[in-house]
Amino acid sequence: MSLLAIGINHKTAPIVIREKVNFGPDIIVGALRSLTERPGVEEAVILSTCNRTEAYCVLRGADVEDICQWLTDFHGLELETISPYIYNHRDRDTIAHLLRVASGLDSMVLGEPQILGQVKQAYQTAADAATSGKLLGKLFQHTFSVAKQIRTDTAIGHSPVSIAFAAVSLARQIFSDLSQQTALLIGAGETIELAARHLHQHGIGRIIVANRTLERAHALANQFDGYSISLPEIPTHLAEADIIISSTASPLPVLGKGTVESALKKRRHQPMFMVDIAVPRDIEAEVGNLNDVYLYTVDDMQEVIEENMRSRQEAAEQAMEIIDLHTDEFMGWLRSLDAAGMIQDYRR
């Protein structure tokens, strides 16, 4: 029996590769069940965000090559397409990696708080699908406890920064006075809510929230004296927007080149600033080729993010000491199971 993590993230692969292996909410349960039906895979949790796709597995007989092959088969890809971008961790390294991920130490924005909630959701989805058993259950509960300790005992979470914060920081660099600007926010999840909050704090003139579920858009818009629309209404209102920030779970783009071209004509080619936080991307890549459009993806925000990393490096080093300690603690627990001859009973 062994622990294995395989994945692709923002450090190893560009967005054009990451979006090929993303697991949206509509396919994640089927993916979990497909993975645990593979011979030698006893338990599995899949974490899929805009910056990473990772599978955490308990194996008996299967190996990293089997899991990589499953990943490519599930997404209809050739192994050669993604194999240069895949990393893997085994046993102790799997534990340490998960602790780093959940604590925000492996994030594009060092110490960002959203990842812990995403890890918790990934585990809960696997638990509900009955693909996470006793061993991964113990590991993830241990992880949540350690991540909480790191946020309590270090400064890693002080002045929290997020992808949403980075997006708004870029907007402020382009538009010196946000009070004269209108922001269109596409989606209504946590990242968009954070973006709305940051924009509101910096005096944005007007907020429009577009979402597939109009009720959710309305609830979010009301918090910031905004206006809510449905996704099909975006072409009607796009010309009003100076700033567009998009983060949906749509498997296909929600904003195309033709729609943006029409909006630019109505705006008499006043510039539009766009940040596409989604993976797969919400905004067609060709939009970035249009004059008067400044399109950024999560991969384009590195400069804003690196400044944040420098200010948090000392806290990150303290957090790594905590992670090393608790990785050894969990490995000791695993060895004690083996030494006491309890592994077979534990599996039952």
CA distances from 255 to 107, 166, 191, 272 (A): 27, 21, 18, 13
Distances (CA, A) of 23 to 52, 126, 339: 10, 13, 38
Q: Which of 28, 32, 41, 50 is catalytic?
A: 50
Q: What are phi and psi of 218, to 5 degrees?
A: -65, -45
Who contacts 286 (Cβ-Cβ below 8 Å, separation ≥6)?
257
Cα separations (Å) of 242 from 78, 188, 260, 272, 333?
A: 40, 19, 12, 5, 55
Q: Catalytic: 68?
A: no
Q: Report the distance separating Cα 336 and Cα 331, nearest Å.
A: 9
Could you give the CA distance from residue 147 to residue 325 in angstroms, rounded to a whole number?
13
Instruction: List Cα–Cα distances, 225 to 191, 200, 207, 246, 314, in angstroms.
Output: 18, 9, 7, 19, 39
Could you list the active site residues?
Answer: 50
